[in-house]
Structure 1
Amino acid sequence: MRAVHRSWFDRTAARDLDGVLAHIAEDVVSYEHEAPLQYTGRERVRAVCRMGLAAAPGAVTWDVPELEVMARDDLAVAWGLNRMTAETADGTTEESWSRGTRVFRRRDGEWQMIHQHVSYPYDLGTGEARADLRP
């Protein structure tokens, strides 16, 4: 699981969309930051990743500094706080944190993400997402 995540971090920094998707199952179900509530299938997740990379003209990184992993047989779960950075057109770097949980199944000897849930907490008073929070 840690190797899969390191690959995602490296492939994101390299803007290698095919590499980012290499460990994502065709039948993945992903709950992303933005609407709609659910994205089903690798191609839908590809579109989200493509939009994310296109939104930042400069360097883009993400990592999970305190990644937790539990694996049993052919099923694994990984979770932690996601840190994303993006260099804007004016050269400044923006950072955001969100929550992430990912479920994997080993298929034909390789780990594939079959489910992902990423989210921002929200303000109870306003109902607005809180992408400005830091651990």
Structure 2
Amino acid sequence: MSDLADELTAALRRYEQATNSHDIDRVVPLIAEDATYWFSDGSHHGLDEIAGAIKRTFDAIRDEEYEIRDLEWVVLADDHAVCRYRFFWTGAVDGRPRSGAGRGTNVLVKRDGAWKMLHEHLSS
């Protein structure tokens, strides 16, 4: 893997770890202010809407463990990148064990020296 791919993979793993912390204050700094996220429950534009959608997920799925697998970088450039992957989650919804899986695509941009999510599309 190239140094750039290693750097981007590390950024995506930080995002995965922040998500697994269930602390929205750890996730928000990793997202671009003008980002757009497409989830199965709808589209969310801008940092405030996205943070609200993620927080609702944290509230709905207790003890969630989120994992990214089969990561592929399909575009690598000095200031932007695109990846696709499979995701898996387990947790409790309404007190009952639940799990799911799907596909993800992310667009990352480098801003002020840091990689941030500009777009995320998750589908199951």
TM-score range, shorter chain: 0.7 to 0.9
Aligned match of 2:69 in 36, 41, 65? 65
Contact conserved, 1:12 with 1:60, CA < 8 A, in 2? no
Look up the match of 2:102: 98
Encode CA deviations 1:56-85: one digit per residue, 9 max, x unaligned. Answer: 23x111111111124212111111111111
Question: After the TM superposition, which residues 25-40 of structure 1 pair with which residues of structure 2 at under 5 Å, given as runs?
Answer: 25-35=32-42, 38-40=43-45
Structure 1 or 2: more helix by fraction: 2
**Partners in 1 of 2:116 and 2:15 — Cα distance?**
12
Contact 2:67 2:88 in 1 (8 A): yes
Structure-1 separation of matches of 2:121 and 2:60: 21
Task: Give the Cα separation in 1 of the matches to 2:122 and 2:94.
Answer: 26
Does structure 1 conserve the Cα–Cα contact (< 8 Å) formed by 2:64 and 2:89? yes
Aligned residues: 116
2:60 and 2:94 in contact (8 A); partners too: no
Q: Larger strand proportion, structure 1 or 2?
A: 2
Map Cα deviations across residues 88-132 of structure 1 (whole Å, 9 max, x no partner): 454x53210111100011111111111111112xxxxxxxxxxxx
1:112 aligns with: 116
Provide the aligned C-alpha RMSD in A.
1.6
Task: Tell me what 1:133 maps to.
Answer: none
Aligned partner letter, 2:116: Q
CA distance in 2, matches of 1:93, 1:7: 26
2:53 equivalent in structure 1? 48
Moved over 4 A (4+): none
Residue of structure 2 in register with 1:131 after alignment? none
Which blocks of at least 5 consecutive residues in structure 2 are unaligned?
Answer: 1-7
Max radius of gyration: which structure?
Answer: 1
